[in-house]
Amino acid sequence: MIVLGIETSCDETAVGLVDDTGRVLGQGLWSQIAAHRPYGGVVPEIAARAHGDHIGACLDEAFRESGLDRGDVDGVAATCGPGLIGGVMVGAVMGKALAAGLGVPFVAVNHLEAHALTVRLLEAVTFPYLVLLVSGGHCQLLIVRGVGHYRLLGTTLDDAAGECLDKGAAMLGLPYPGGPALEQAAKGGNPHAFDLPRPLKGRSDCAFSFSGLKTALRQRVEALTVHGPLSNAVLADLAASLQEAVADVVADRVAQALRMVRDDPNESSLTALVAAGGVASNATLRARLAALASTWGLPFKTSPPALCTDNGIMVAWAGLERLRLGLTSPLSTPARPRWPLESLAVESGN
């Protein structure tokens, strides 16, 4: 079975082709970073237009790379939410049109579900597992019980971890997008040089909060730049301290989720700790999560950075997982700016 996936929910225009053995057959990806850089963040109107302009070329690129014809595709999956609605509509309409034209099933994919299932494209991770989803727009802990079956343990009360890193990096004068630049700048810095807050650390639920950490960093930077710009050494210390605070607080929240699952008689034992989303590419965070998983006797699984950030392959894979269970979507499926994962089981009736 070969499935085409389309992703347009944020700032990557992406198409992927995968088969049921998890082989990536082809992909096309247009990153809009350059278009948004002058504004220091994703501008929804610019993103929507850029998706419309580039989706055709991404599609051609994926088919060219795979050597397949349009007629070889057994199903078309597209992200139908959550995300920036103008962009989601571009991908959803393209996916529906292709499915209708080719006479194959359409699968409406939830963007968060795609992140949560990506690890299974790489290896046979069995249910249930715990997913930490950390990206530019999302910060959540989920139990993945099966395709379409998710329990949300906790989410952020304000910003996502990626938002905190991106805005923190901007305060330090680093280029957009900030996460990778901050990781680079932190090399050689002292992660304990600045005592930044750890919001919600030790709390008995699995919520996250990052806005206070952002504010604390801004106050430090303002105080340090009163008499001139930051030295490279201080910049490295600030970057390392912010990265450490984020990793520390995320690891604490994950540990809390593991305790909650262990102490809940209605939950089965987890098979793995999985990290997904762009921020999961961060080496400091990965090391912390791997160490945590090992103290719990769990394997730690994540994907290469290209599959952590948004891409079409993860959407194709989620589509394939649904399709092989017979879960297809009507062409009337709406594009949604908000689409909680926990509503999926009800909608698909499984």
> Which does residue 281 touch among Mg ion, ligand AMP, none (CB within 5 to 8 A, set by kind)?
ligand AMP
Options 43-51, 215-223, 226-234, 302-310: segment touching Mg ion (CB under 5 A): 302-310
> Is 279 a binder of ligand AMP (CB under 6 A)?
yes
Smallest separation (angstroms) from ligand AMP to the CB of 193? 19
> With contact defined as beta carbons under 8 Å apart, do 127 and 271 qualify?
yes
Closest C-alpha among 23, 27, 3, 194 to residue 107: 3
3-state secondary structure of 110: strand
> With contact defined as beta carbons under 8 Å apart, do 276 and 118 qualify?
yes
Options 36-44, 90-98, 158-166, 198-206: segment touching ligand AMP (CB under 6 A): 158-166
Which of 2, 6, 10, 119 forms a contact with Mg ion (CB under 5 A)? 10
For 163, list phi and psi in degrees, rounded to 5: -65, -45
> Among residues 97 and 340, whose Cβ is nearest to ligand AMP?
340
Smallest separation (angstroms) from Mg ion to the CB of 302? 17
> Among residues 10 and 25, whose Cβ is nearest to Mg ion?
10
Q: Which two tokens stand for residue 271?
A: 């098979």
> With contact defined as beta carbons under 8 Å apart, do 10 and 20 qualify?
no
> With contact defined as beta carbons under 8 Å apart, do 152 and 142 qualify?
yes
Integer Rg of the chain from CA? 20
**Dihedral sign (CA 221, 227, 228, 234):** negative
Where in 167-196 is the site for ligand AMP (CB under 6 A)? Answer: 177-180, 183
Residues 6+ apart with CB under 8 A from 11: 31, 32, 33, 36, 42, 47, 310
Options 35-43, 46-54, 93-101, 132-140: segment touching ligand AMP (CB under 6 A): 132-140
- Chain position whose Cβ is nearest to Mg ion: 310
For 120, list phi and psi in degrees, rounded to 5: -75, -15
Closest C-alpha among 156, 261, 252, 250 to residue 211: 156
Options 47-55, 178-186, 248-256, 303-311: segment touching Mg ion (CB under 5 A): 303-311
> With contact defined as beta carbons under 8 Å apart, do 159 and 133 qualify?
no
> Among residues 11 and 183, whose Cβ is nearest to Mg ion?
11
> Is 19 a binder of ligand AMP (CB under 6 A)?
no
Residue type, 153: L
Per-residue x/- marks for Mg ion, 304-323, CB under 5 A? Answer: ------x-------------
Options 34-42, 104-112, 129-137, 207-215: segment touching ligand AMP (CB under 6 A): 129-137
Closest C-alpha among 328, 302, 326, 325 to residue 314: 302
User: What string of DSSP letters covers 30-55?
Assistant: EE-HHHHGGGTS--HHHHHHHHHHHH
Number of residues that bind Mg ion (CB under 5 A): 4
> Is 28 a binder of ligand AMP (CB under 6 A)?
no
> Among residues 165 and 270, whose Cβ is nearest to ligand AMP?
165
> With contact defined as beta carbons under 8 Å apart, do 329 and 350 qualify?
no
> Which does residue 302 touch among ligand AMP, Mg ion, none (CB within 5 to 8 A, set by kind)?
none
- Chain position whose Cβ is nearest to ligand AMP: 278
Smallest separation (angstroms) from ligand AMP to the CB of 11? 7
> Is 162 a binder of ligand AMP (CB under 6 A)?
yes
Bridge partner residues of 300 (DSSP):
273
> Among residues 11 and 19, whose Cβ is nearest to Mg ion?
11
Which of 7, 19, 310, 321 forms a contact with ligand AMP (CB under 6 A)? 310
Residue type, 321: E
> Is 136 a binder of ligand AMP (CB under 6 A)?
yes
> Among residues 50 and 104, whose Cβ is nearest to ligand AMP?
50
State the residues that interact with ligand AMP by CB under 6 A: 10, 135-137, 162, 165-166, 177-180, 183, 277-279, 281-282, 309-310
